Amino acid sequence: MVFLSVSRPAGDNHDIFVSSMTIRTLFGRSRMPGTTGTRNAIFMSIAQKESVLQIRYNTSTLHLEDMPLDIGYASERVELQNSLNESFSIGGQSGATQLIVTTPFIDEELLVQLHDINVLMDLNALGEISKTLIVATGKHHFSDFGGWRSGIDKTQAFGDYYGIRLSPGELGGEFAKALFVVSKDGALFYHEILSDLNASFDLEKALVKIAAAHNCYTGKGCH
Domain boundaries, the chain: 2-49, 62-216
Q: Which class is 62-216 in CATH?
A: alpha beta
Cis peptide before 168 (omega within 30 of 0): yes
- The predicted pLDDT at position 128 comes to 86
**CB-based contact 174:138 (threshold 8 Å):** no
Angstrom distance (rounded) from CA 89 to CA 81 = 9
Residue 198 three-state SS: coil
**Is residue 20 within a helix (H) or strand (E), and if so which, with residue range?**
helix 20-26
Across 61-71, b (16+ Cβ under 10 Å) vs e yields ebbbbbbbbee
pLDDT, one tens digit per residue, over 48-106 is 455 458 999 999 999 999 999 999 999 999 999 998 899 999 999 988 999 999 999 99
Length of the chain: 223
Do the Cβ atoms of 123 and 146 come closer than 8 Å? no
Q: Which of 65, 125, 130 is nearest to 92 (CA)?
A: 130
15-22 mean pLDDT: 41
CA distance 135 to 107: 13
pLDDT at 44 over 70: no
